[in-house]
Amino acid sequence: MVSSVKTNIVIILAAMSLLVGCGGSPAVTTSKPTKTPTLPAPVWLIQPPIETGFLYGTGSAEVYAGDQADAAARAKDMARLELVKQIEVNISGELEQEITETLQNNKSELTERLRQSVKGKVTSFELSHVMNVDSYFDESNKQVSILVRLDVNKELQSLHSRIEVIDQRFAEVVTKFENNEKQGMGLLRLATSGLVLAEERSGIQARANTLSPTRQHVDVLTPEYRDFTRKAYALIGMLKVHIAAQGADRNSLAAALTAELNNKGINISEAEQADIRVEYDLSLNNVVQGETTFVITEGNVFLKDEQGRIVKTIQAKAKGASADVKEAESRSITKLSQQLGKELVDVLF
């Protein structure tokens, strides 16, 4: 009997041991780390807000080397550029039409070249009242996007203030221009200064027209600006330039320079009839290599005002090669005259 009880106890203990072994230690499971989900893209990234009195622009830039601040700065620049494009969408055509109508019969290759030169001197346009509104970082694409807003009313006030300043400067130029009895560099500089102001003002007014809530059109050039523009282009079209050598005469360079300036619409005349005097000197160096002669030409051009003072010196160098010395010299001088002629026109205007 005792033996039977012991046997039962052993069986029970064994069963309990099995149960503890199976259920006492829960199975360990390994979970993968969860990735922080990317925030959903804001609506403004696809459709910028529309709000009375404001313009919105967006820009995006990739993040390089983990530098989000740099990407945000580039994105902001892109957003500002987007705003400028919205404003300037119709400006170019309006300005061209206005200037063309003002020039009327004075338009020529020279006036077109001058127009391009004047446009290059105009201060680049920048918006004054742009502020950041929101930003978004696209984790998956490593890209930063920026939303900016332009306060239209404040920008219009700034544009009108700039126009007032330009009008004051323009009035001073016109007074000096009309009271200047002499032709020459002085009058040419006044004409160019006035044309730059006219170009700058017309661009600002055109932008103001675009931003105006009422879309009220104001002529980009007032009658005073129109009148001055016609006179200035007419004056420049009649300017006469005299070309002369310093020291030993090199008719070949004089002829090449004359042809180059004539091609650009500039009148060449005798000294007594000239408004502007251009003097030059020239040096040639021949280098023979085998059967080929290389001619290296160095030239200086001196631009003088009506009092004979040198106001600008232009330097250039060119090389020509040929089996024939005269041909090599001719090629070198032709290249030199093209360089000097282009730079001279840039300096004049």
Note down pLDDT in tens along the chain; length 349 residues.
545 544 554 444 444 554 445 444 454 444 444 444 567 889 999 899 999 999 999 999 999 998 999 999 999 999 999 998 888 766 665 666 666 676 666 666 667 777 777 877 888 888 899 999 999 999 888 999 999 999 999 999 999 999 999 999 999 999 999 887 666 778 888 888 999 999 899 889 988 988 988 877 888 889 999 999 888 888 887 888 888 887 655 666 777 778 877 877 788 888 778 888 888 888 888 888 888 999 998 888 888 877 778 888 888 899 999 999 889 988 888 888 888 877 877 777 6
Per-residue pLDDT, 13: 45
Domain with CATH 3.30.1660 in the chain: 43-108+119-151
- Note the pLDDT of residue 64: 93
Q: Which residue has the tokens 């052993």?
A: 10
Whether domain 43-108+119-151 has CATH 3.30.70: the reply is no
Closest CA to 204 of 170, 171, 147, 156: 156
Place of tokens 């001073």: 172
Output Rg (C-alpha) for the chain, integer angstroms: 38
What is the location of CATH 3.30.160.150 in the chain?
240-348
Residues contacting 53, CB < 8 A, separation 6+ = 151, 152, 153, 213
CATH 3.40.50.720 fits 240-348, yes or no: no
N residues, the chain: 349
Strands (E), the chain: 54-62, 130-138, 143-151, 240-245, 267-268, 276-289, 292-304, 310-322
Q: What is the pLDDT of residue 56?
A: 95
Q: Which residues contact 103 (CB under 8 A, 6 or more apart)?
A: 111, 229, 230, 233
Identify the pLDDT of residue 20.
Answer: 47
The label of the residue with tokens 């446009």 reads 119
Among 273, 263, 272, smallest CA distance to 239 is for: 273
- Bridge partners (DSSP) of residue 81 are none
Number of other CB atoms surrounding residue 231 within 10 Å: 16
User: 303: closest CA among 270, 258, 266, 343?
Assistant: 343
Three-state DSSP state, 268: strand
